[in-house]
Chains A and B, each alone.
Chain A
Amino acid sequence: MAAQGIRIEGLKKRYGSGDTAVDALKGVDMEVAPGEVVGLVGPSGSGKSTLLKCLGAVIDPSAGRMTLGDAVIYDQGWKARDLRALRRDKIGFVFQAPYLIPFLDVTDNVALLPMLAGVPNAEARKRALELLTALDVQHRAKAMPSQLSGGEQQRVAIARGLVNRPPVILADEPTAPLDSKRAMAVIRILNDMAKKYETAIIVVTHDEKILPTFKRIYHIRDGVTHEEAGEGRGFD
């Protein structure tokens, strides 16, 4: 196990109780190393979203253990006192739709996270611009989200997910609204960023066209994950 990255052991989630209880996750095991991008696939209702919400500290798992880097963040209960701070500092999110804040320009959409963490505005914007440059959208730094193309919006969303240098990024179907070319570009960017910033990235996807790009894929069915090797074919 690397010094960073994420490890999940026996993660369970039960909704409801008694006769109406539903076990959405029945013991998920996962491990993603720093700099690695893995796919998480499964049919509708298999528990993908529940797993993502548990990993994102949005809902409480019922049992299990999660380790983020060297720190155990969940072990039969959250170890962090402030889950908002945990999400802000340790977990990056990239959504199916970019969900950029429409009243902030591109730079501030990205810089908002470090600002929320108490980083001075100038420093936060500097960090944002660095990432926007790395993602080749620096020329739209002052544009409003509504003025961007779908691909540009998704790159800005990736920059937002990366800006606090989180050890893990959860990407929920980030290529769903994009055509093949743009979808490949987004996956390439995620791989590049994972390597550059030593970030573990979990990509939840239904997208058949990007599946061959993953070296490892976790299949989830009925609340249980099965790991298999991917083709790791590249991005062309």
Chain B
Amino acid sequence: MISLAGRDILHTWGKFVFTGIGLGLLIGVTLVMAGVYRGMVDDAMVLLDNSGADLWVVQKDTQGPYAESSSLYDDTWRGIAAMPGVASATDITYLTMQVRATNHGEPRDVRAMVVGIAPDGPGSAGWPPYLVAGRQITRSHYEAVADIASGFKLGDTLQIRRNRYTVVGLTRRMVSSNGDPMVFIPLKDAQQAQFLKDNEAILQQRRRTAENPAFNRPGVPGLLDAVIASQSTNNYVNAVLVRIKPGYTADEVAAPIRRWKRLTVFTRAQMQNILVNKLIATASRQIGMFMVILAIVSAAIVAFIIYTLTMDKIREIAVLKLIGTRNRTIAAMIMQQALALGLIGFAVGKITATFAAPLFPKFVLLMPGDSIAGFFAVMVICALASVVAIRMALKVDPAEAIGG
């Protein structure tokens, strides 16, 4: 038996191809949307992986350092390092801000997450685990390693708050959960960038403190200087990254830190839950809504096209029925056309998504599994969309071919 659907498609291939391309662009957008979501999840996972930590110790009752602000004294790590099962404890700061590159033509602002890393050396928690160009930070101040997605180049000068930093190394796939590229600078510099006030504010604060009789007592020399000194120092970090010794579980190590240091400690699973299920939950729902709308629009387009194509063939369908064609042959013809349309659309969509994904500013991760699921979803949508046309075709009276 010849394929009626195949012959009809060949006969009206132009209509099919152009409709398939239109549908394919919609499917491509849907696949890219799925890729955006996957990219967000992957960014979150990369953030956790590249931090090199087993535990995140943060300010009590906060969900820092990625989801909420968190402040700890920068000597907290010492006590944590002495806790059972702790292999290392490292201070770290995170600050998302506009970083300005100043030495290549026009100044250029890049949204980046500035990470302050403790001077423990490469391989320590928080440090970029690998570089694609240049070297790691070796000086205590004013050097930076940037993610290549920032667009910064080796030797670029970055303006972060009041200080300038030279890019000495480039790394890859070091991004925040929002997809912003990371810029690593020494911890002390990062503390200043995050907590140090500007000169005018410091002067104002000194004046206020000096005019406070509680701090400026005639009989207590040195008190005012001590208070001002404590106000001017920046001894806070956002979190302490902990690596645990072999043979210990994360929960075993986390429990005494929570109990004795009265701090909040997250294991990797908990931090993953915060990043994926809380931080990007709204965005993923938003993307999900878009995907549902796109699926409905795609189904409506397929249904409309197949319905129109079937309407154009009412007389032929009546003739086919009159000469003895079974209903299932006619239904199969219509459904095969819908599936062929879906196939063309998916192929165009997949190619479009593959070529368009790298052009997006944020990481778009096209998973083979999503493509396979998308393919079956498209086929199901097309099959369902053909139902209206099939119902109409089955209602066609073979007597219409005779007329009268």
Contact = CB atoms under 8 A, between A and B. Distances in A.
Contacts of A58: 322, 397-399, 402
A44 B316 CA distance: 25
A121 B2 CA distance: 8
B2 A112 contact: yes
Contact of B12 (A86, A95, A96, A103): A103
Nearest to A85: B324
B398 A172 contact: no
Nearest to A163: B323
B256 to A, nearest CB: 77
Contact of B2 (A56, A95, A96, A115): A115
Contacts of A88: 323-325
B319 interface: yes
A103 B10 CA distance: 8
Interface in B3-23: 4, 7-8, 10-12
A84 interface: yes
Interface stretch (A9-17, A29-37, A47-55, A208-216): A47-55
Interface string A190-230: 00000000000000000000000000000000000000000
A99 B1 contact: no
Contact of B316 (A59, A85, A102): A102
A132 B319 CA distance: 20
Given A88-B323, A93-B322, A115-B2, A101 B316 contact: yes
B315 to A, nearest CB: 6
A96 B8 CA distance: 24
A99 B315 contact: yes
Contacts of B320: 101
B399 A53 contact: yes
A138 B397 CA distance: 32
22 contacts: A53-B402, A58-B322, A58-B402, A84-B326, A87-B323, A88-B323, A99-B315, A99-B316, A101-B4, A103-B7, A103-B8, A103-B10, A103-B12, A104-B2, A104-B7, A108-B7, A112-B2, A113-B323, A113-B324, A115-B1, A116-B323, A116-B326
Contacts of B83: none
Nearest to B404: A49
A59 B399 contact: yes
Interface of A: 48-50, 52-53, 56, 58-59, 84-89, 93, 95-96, 99, 101-104, 108, 112-113, 115-117, 121, 144, 160, 172
Contacts of A59: 399
Given A84-B326, A101-B316, A96 B1 contact: no
- State the 3 A-B residue pairs at the shortest beta-carbon distance, nearest first: A49-B404, A88-B324, A103-B11
B329 interface: yes
A53 B404 contact: yes
A78 to B, nearest CB: 15
A95 B324 contact: no
Contacts of A160: 323
Interface in B389-404: 397-399, 401-404
Contacts of A95: 319, 401-403
Contacts of A108: 2, 7
A172 B401 CA distance: 10
Contact of A56 (B1, B4, B10, B322): B322
Interface string B293-331: 000000000000000000000011001111111100100
Contact of A96 (B324, B326, B403): B403
Given A53-B402, A102-B11, A116-B326, 5 more contacts: A85-B324, A87-B398, A99-B319, A104-B2, A112-B2
Nearest to B316: A101
Contacts of B402: 49, 52-53, 56, 58, 93, 95, 172
B324 A116 contact: yes
A172 B323 CA distance: 14
B13 to A, nearest CB: 10
Nearest to A86: B324
A84 B321 CA distance: 8
Contacts of A53: 399, 402, 404
A23 B293 CA distance: 54
Nearest to B11: A103
A89 B324 contact: yes
Nearest to B321: A84
A102 B319 CA distance: 12
Nearest to A157: B319
Contacts of B397: 58
Nearest to B7: A103
Nearest to B312: A102
Contacts of A144: 11
